[in-house]
Amino acid sequence: MKLGRLNHIGVATPSIEESIRYYRDVMGATSFHKPFDLEAQGVKVCFVDTPGENGTNGTQIELIEPLGPDSPIAKFLEKNPAGGQHHVCYEVEDTEDARKWFEDMGKRILGPTRIGAHGTPIFFLHPKDMMGQLTEIMETPKSGAHWSN
């Protein structure tokens, strides 16, 4: 498998509204996508763009807020009430191949491959098998285009 783009870093937050103000007013971000609910994953999501080199798209920030007390990120926020870095997401050409690659290495995959926030297949790997990082693997959108909303 070949390492692809760092598509986004997942940042847990108690409030996407507050995070948007933070990234706009404190960090100087200018490009925000429309927040939406990813009910299957129990989170509200909002992507913030960061610039890449030479006018390309950079790694995005994926803000995730729990949709309720049973959200998979509720426990993370109990430990980190202000929010914080939650996961990293790397692109691959083919998630089916990648899934087999990691399985053959005995890496624990968290649940089935599903359609992620960018509309392509994704899966997550257990942080204990990934040097402490909850790792999302995402198929590069076929158009080569950046996700937009």
Residue 12: which of 96, 71, 57 has the closest Cα?
Answer: 71
**Residue 86 Cβ, how far from a copy of itself at the closest point, in Å?**
8
Instruction: Give yes or no: 17 in active site.
Output: no
Torsion of CA 139, 143, 146, 149, to 10 degrees: -100
Interacting residues with a copy of itself (CB under 8 A): 1-6, 9, 11-13, 18-19, 22-23, 26-30, 50-54, 56-59, 61, 80, 82-85, 88, 90, 102, 105, 107, 127-128, 130-133, 146
Among candidates 63, 11, 59, 75, which has minimal Cα distance to 36?
63
- Report the residue number, 56 or 69, with the smaller CB distance to a copy of itself: 56
Phi/psi class of residue 96: alpha, beta or left (left: φ > 0; alpha: ψ in -120 to 50)?
Answer: alpha
Q: In angstroms, what is the minimal distance from the CB of 119 to a copy of itself?
A: 18
For a copy of itself, which is the closer residue by CB, 39 or 141?
A: 141
> For residues 24 and 31, what is the distance between their CA atoms, to the nearest angstrom?
9
Rounded CA-CA distance 104/32 in Å is 38
Task: Determine which one of 62, 91, 136, 139 is catalytic.
Answer: 136
Query: From residue 2, how far is each of 88, 105, 119 by CA, in Å?
Result: 16, 15, 21
Nearer to a copy of itself, 39 or 106 (CB): 106
Query: In the complex, what is the shortest distance from the CB of residue 1 to a copy of itself, in angstroms, rounded to a whole number?
Result: 4
Q: Which is nearer to a copy of itself, 9 or 109 (CB)?
A: 9
Active site residues: 136
